[in-house]
Amino acid sequence: QVQLVESGGGLVQAGGSLRLSCAASGSIFSITAMGWYRQAPGKQRELVAVIIGGGITKYADSVKGRFTISRDNAKNTVFLQMNSLKPEDTDVYYCNLAGYTDSLPLNAWGQGTQVTVSS
């Protein structure tokens, strides 16, 4: 069983910063990618940022230049540094891990952390 524990969400004023963390634990054999998604009520979950393998990163156009994803491989932890936050960044943010547990494919989600940006 794999667990993802997120932290770092909260309330911030527009223009402020937050740093999200997601620590993975459990039966993880290898990690292909770790990323962050966000979802507003009634909307589909969308990719915010992902870090793949050796460090390749991909961002949603709406966060490029403002958000930075990074990873601590030794601790199976992924971070999302969010700067210059806007009210439209308000969402529940979910951590995702794709990889393998022993020989089986793995796709795990965190419980979500609320990010609220006030104008």
| pLDDT at 54 exceeding the cut of 80 | no
Q: What is the pLDDT of residue 53?
A: 82
CA distance 117 to 88: 8
CA distance 38 to 85: 14
Tokens of 59: 């961002």
| pLDDT at 119 exceeding the cut of 90 | yes
CA-wise closest residue to 116 among 82, 92, 81, 97:
92
Residue 102: which pLDDT band, with cuts at 50, 70 and 90? confident
The fraction of the chain above a pLDDT of 70, given in percent, is 100
| pLDDT at 99 exceeding the cut of 80 | yes
| pLDDT at 98 exceeding the cut of 90 | yes
Mean pLDDT, the chain, whole residue set: 95
Residue 20: which pLDDT band, with cuts at 50, 70 and 90? very high
